[in-house]
Structure 1
Amino acid sequence: MTRRCRALCLSAPASNQGKTLVAAALARHWRNQGLRVRVFKAGPDFLDPMILERASGATVYNLDGWMGGMGHCRALLYEAAAEADVILLEGVMGLFDGPCSSADLAAAFGLPVAAVIDAAGMGQSFGAVALGLARYRPELTFRGALANGVASPRHEAMVKEGMPDGIAYLGGFPRQPRWQLPSRHLGLVQAAELAGLDELLDEAAEAVGKTGLAEAALPVDFSSGGSAQPPALLRGVRIAVARDAAFAFLYPANLDCLRALGAEPAFFSPLNDSSLPDADAVYLPGGYPELHLQTLAGNSAMKAALREHAAAGKPVYAECGGLLYLLESLADGEGREAAMAGVFPGRAAVGRRLAALGYQSLRLAEGELRGHTFHYSTLATPLAPAAHGEPLRGAGPGEAFYRCGAVRASYLHLYFPCRPEAAAALFLPA
């Protein structure tokens, strides 16, 4: 059983080529034309999808063949094709990078590929880069290259002059400083924090509409993933899920998985609320607690509610920023320290150097879960880890996984659809 929908994979030769802005501009261009747009982000990113969601007006899911498996990715695309006029996949890093690269996804699902290449400091060599991307894996349907950061008509003429026969030049996207999306230590600034973002996206959409990028999408047949419904292991379980500016790193597919398991999510804000929702378990996802130290520290009622919940033996699952919030204290990158919830013994401090990055698997008694870690903080705790993650690449143990009563916590951002039964156990009493 198949569904046909126009689609495009937008990639690049490397990170920092500007593909997120171009992808967001393209999604907004199509949306402004009255099309129903569904955007996906390759890889484990949380921040790019926030920009893409604002641009497209629809929830952005991650396509990650290593964390979720290709069958899961196929099911997500098939569901999107039922409601979309066009599907856009923004790639991760360079076109051929990673354990399940953008090229791997494009090849597996028959997606045509277009490349965004930063043309700054480059003229005719642009064509050589485009040629390499087009020819490295000939089985891909390579639709052409867009020159990003074109400074002038003369600059664009030099770029076009170097384009080889048979490789389409999709046009130039102008160098415009006011369109630059600001970043911080974990990636782009969250969309909700960017004033004037919609105006920026509309301007960029008008510019991308003058290129040939929108026409690079082609009809694609998406087949059913055939994914089975998980058992209702969480039927009747109400899970309080933290969601605000400090705790926003949450895969939409994780929420879908919890609902499929029978759980009922109830959202709350550790920044603004004084109590937890009536709930059987708490889910504290990652985010930026270090940017909101004083507000989190000052919300004594919420911290007390979390301690009371944990003391009653009710499950708490926390990952990365959620783990930091459970500690006794947290210091930001400037050395300012504040008291956190005190559910978990230990302290953490955000540093200026990357502490961990990469895919890891976590083997628990209930099964293996896969996820990703990316943080600048370091943790000191007297607790002995109950398990360690296993890095996909690299030697030595990965991230520690802690159990303290019914509290489970780790730096890992786990992807629940890879093993729903194991994910369910995180929210059930020990």
Structure 2
Amino acid sequence: MMVSSQTRHCPAILISAPASGQGKTTVTAAMAYYHRLQNLKVRVFKTGPDFIDPQILAYASAQPVYQLDLWMMGVKHCQELLFRAAAEADVILIEGVMGLFDGESSSADLAQIMGIPIAAVIDAQGMAQTFSAIAFGLANYRSQLAFAGVIANKVGSIGHAKLLEESLPKSMPLLAAMMKDAAVALPSRHLGLLQASEISDLDERLNHAAELLTSAAPCKLPESVAFEYIESKRLPQLLIGKKIAVAHDAAFSFIYQANLDCLEAMGAELQFFSPLLDQALPTADSIYLPGGYPELYLQTLAENKAMQDALRLHHQAGKPIYAECGGFLYLLESLTDCDGNKASMVGLLPGSARMQSKLVNLGMHSLQLDKGEIRGHSFHHSLLEIAIQPFAVSVPQRNRNCSEDFFQLGRLQATYLHLYFPFNAQLAAGFFL
């Protein structure tokens, strides 16, 4: 049995940037793919509540990707996940969120608390010595941070990479230089990058990105980091014998791997199904409809009457359904996309939603229910009209953000929020009982 003084050592680095759009995901995925090609076991984490980037990173590393967020998850839970990874990995990569110091639970905060050095990705196109000034500012803005060095992205040539390297002080190494090539760019839409399953040539893109990353110099392993042992809390065995049908396809894929782990750790048996393709539900005691892109598959979802009937029968039988964001929209009477195309949905909730061209709500939230608090986040482009009153209302982490409603109709519970189950596993189990 492990004791509290045990530590694990593993090379680790947090990959951040001065801002969004600098190429963090491409560089992190390229590094993961490169190290995997060297027969190393790579574990990748994503800072913040993101679902799409982790799909790309999971493909690149061939391992599940977990989120790390100090506020939504808590410090100890983040430490626990990192310790577990360090026990089995040859290298740990953590992709940051937005700019290094952005947000109330920033990448810098995470790196400082976890003791992980930072590598800053800087888009170097059209830049020479100013590259060094930006790197110097990031490294020295907060003195307590461990700064491993910088990664130049979109470099024009080997000579350009050399010029950038020479501009840096000796204390700040150029860890890698990734050559500019539009062929490795990851395609995106309104919520971010395309999902990994939608990029048919993802393997070729990542392989090429790994080659570009190492064309100027070898990509070395980061320094080893000590991860302290954190004792795992034994979760209540509230779901033993329960079968939960989890929607998972191109329309419904925004789900924390930690949520699935949490349900299984409480004894649940998970069975996956596709509202797009399947004509019937698996035999199950309850249903989990996660978020995703139902607006992109309106007609297919509307035409699958057999699945809609199955969900209605499940609800009429008094069995639990828990739905969030895209899954929530699917249970409304109708959904309209940005082009005005309207389609009938399942109709278990008396309302409709319409997609907007701009973001409607984004941010972290706390939700208080009968069994305590649970935390999560919202990120959606739709406006809702609904004829029932909410059972509860969330409290945004930031005052300027809008709250989100939590609805309950019989054994059906639904919300725009993406809730993080391990924050309050007992409460989360109640969604399926």
Q: TM-score range by the shorter chain?
A: over 0.9
TM-score relative to the length of structure 2: 0.96
Is this contact kept in 2: 1:388–1:397, CA < 8 A? no
Matching residue of 1:95:
100
Other structure's SS at 2:210 match = helix
Other structure's SS at 2:340 match = coil
Match of 2:407 among 398, 402, 406: 402
1:44 equivalent to 2:54? Answer no
Is this contact kept in 2: 1:268–1:276, CA < 8 A? yes
Matching residue of 2:371:
366
Distance 2:218 2:191 in 1: 29
Is this contact kept in 2: 1:26–1:209, CA < 8 A? no
Which AA in structure 2 matches 1:130? A
Matching residue of 1:122:
127
Other structure's SS at 1:232 match = coil
> C-alpha displacement at 1:206, in angstroms?
1.6
Distance 2:411 2:44 in 1: 37
Is this contact kept in 1: 2:362–2:379, CA < 8 A? yes
Is this contact kept in 2: 1:360–1:373, CA < 8 A? yes
**C-alpha offsets along residues 288-338 of structure 1, whole Å, 9 cap, x if unaligned?**
000111110010000000011111111110000000000111011111001
TM-score relative to the length of structure 1: 0.97
Match of 1:257 among 257, 262, 270: 262
Is this contact kept in 1: 2:176–2:219, CA < 8 A? no
User: Which 5+ residue runs of structure 2 have no aligned equivalent?
Assistant: 1-5
Distance 1:84 1:226 in 2: 19
Matching residue of 2:298:
293
Matching residue of 1:14:
19
Distance 2:399 2:357 in 1: 22
1:220 equivalent to 2:225? Answer yes
> C-alpha displacement at 1:141, in angstroms?
1.8
* C-alpha RMSD over aligned residues: 1.4
Matching residue of 2:419:
414
User: Which 5+ residue runs of structure 1 have no aligned equivalent?
Assistant: none
**C-alpha offsets along residues 135-159 of structure 1, whole Å, 9 cap, x if unaligned?**
1122222111111111235544553
Counterparts of residues 374-389 of structure 1 (less than 5 Å): 374-389=379-394
Matching residue of 1:195:
200
Distance 1:116 1:216 in 2: 16
Other structure's SS at 1:248 match = strand
Which AA in structure 1 matches 2:262? C
1:353 equivalent to 2:358? Answer yes
> C-alpha displacement at 1:221, in angstroms?
1.4
Matching residue of 2:60:
55
Matching residue of 1:67:
72
Distance 2:251 2:234 in 1: 32
Matching residue of 1:148:
153
> C-alpha displacement at 1:2, in angstroms?
1.1
Which AA in structure 2 matches 1:61? Y
Distance 2:185 2:26 in 1: 8
Matching residue of 2:252:
247
Which AA in structure 2 matches 1:357? L
1:269 equivalent to 2:274? Answer yes
The number of residues matched between the two structures is: 428
Which AA in structure 2 matches 1:421? Q
Matching residue of 2:3:
none
Is this contact kept in 2: 1:8–1:216, CA < 8 A? no
Is this contact kept in 2: 1:170–1:211, CA < 8 A? no
Percent identical: 55
1:279 equivalent to 2:284? Answer yes
**C-alpha offsets along residues 116-152 of structure 1, whole Å, 9 cap, x if unaligned?**
0111332221111100111112222211111111123
Match of 1:236 among 225, 237, 241: 241
Distance 1:5 1:395 in 2: 40
**C-alpha offsets along residues 246-281 of structure 1, whole Å, 9 cap, x if unaligned?**
000000000011111121111110001111111111
Is this contact kept in 2: 1:173–1:208, CA < 8 A? yes
Q: Which moved more, 1:208-217 or 1:395-404?
A: 208-217
Is this contact kept in 1: 2:361–2:402, CA < 8 A? no
Distance 1:213 1:400 in 2: 50
Distance 1:161 1:396 in 2: 44
Q: Which moved more, 1:58-67 or 1:20-29?
A: 58-67
